[in-house]
Amino acid sequence: LQHVMSHALPVFWRLHRVHHTDLDFDVTTGLRFHPLEIFISMLYKAALAAALGAHPFGVLLFEVILNSSAQFNHGNVAIPLSLDRILRRFVVTPDMHRVHHSWKVKETNSNFGFFFPWWDRLFGTYRDQPQEGHREMTIGLKEYRDFEKLNLLRLLWIPFEIKIGGYSFRRDD
C-alpha cells in the first residue's frame, strides 16, 4: 500500500521519483531514496508498530526482510526464464520488478510488490514482461535522462522542483 501511495499521491511522488531517476537497475537502485521519504516511512511504520503493539524483534525482522528483498528485487541478476516463472508465483523477482522501473507509465504503474507477487495479481497491476523486452526497455524517468545532472545535490532538490513532472498515476502513455 505504501508503494502504491508513493506513486498515487503527488506529494509522495515528489519524494519517491528520486528512486525512479536511476538510469540503471541494480542493487544501488534499492538504496536510492530521498532522506525525507525514508524519514516519513520510518514515522508511519513506527506509529503502526506502536498501534499494533508489535514486538521489537518482529519490527526488526520485518525491516531485515524488507531491505533484503529490496536488494534482491533491484538486483541485476539473470535468473533463467523458466526458473523466474516459477519463483514469481511466490516472490517478486528482479525481472518482475524491473518492469516497474520502465520509463513507460503503464509499466511504471505495475508490479508494485516488494516481497509477495500476489497483491499485484489481485489488484490488476501485474505485468509479466515489458513491452520492448528487458534488454530494450529504458530504465528511469523521461524527465531525468542526463546522468551528469543526476548528482547528489540535484537528487536532494528534485522533490522541491516547482513542476512535479513525470506522470499521473494510472495514466497510459
| Percent of the chain at pLDDT exceeding 70 | 94
Q: Which of 77, 127, 80 is nearest to 100 (CA)?
A: 127
Instruction: Tell me which amino acid residue 151 is.
Output: N
Q: Which of 138, 134, 139, 109 is nearest to 6 (CA)?
A: 109
Tell me if residue 102 falls in helix, strand or coil. strand
- Residue-wise pLDDT for 54-104, tens only, equals 999 999 999 999 999 999 999 999 899 999 999 999 999 999 999 999 999
CA 106, 101, 47: angle at the middle one, nearest 5? 100
Per the prediction, the chain carries an average pLDDT of 91
Q: Are the beta carbons of 102 and 108 closer than 8 angstroms?
A: yes
What distance in Å separates the CA atoms of residue 15 and residue 8, rounded to the nearest whole number?
12
φ and ψ at residue 139, rounded to 5 degrees = -90, 145
pLDDT higher than 90, residue 170: no
- Work out the end-to-end distance of the chain between its first and last CA atoms, rounded to an integer number of angstroms: 23
Cα distances (Å, whole numbers) of residue 137 to 9, 65, 104, 133, 163: 26, 28, 9, 6, 26
State mean pLDDT over 33-43: 96
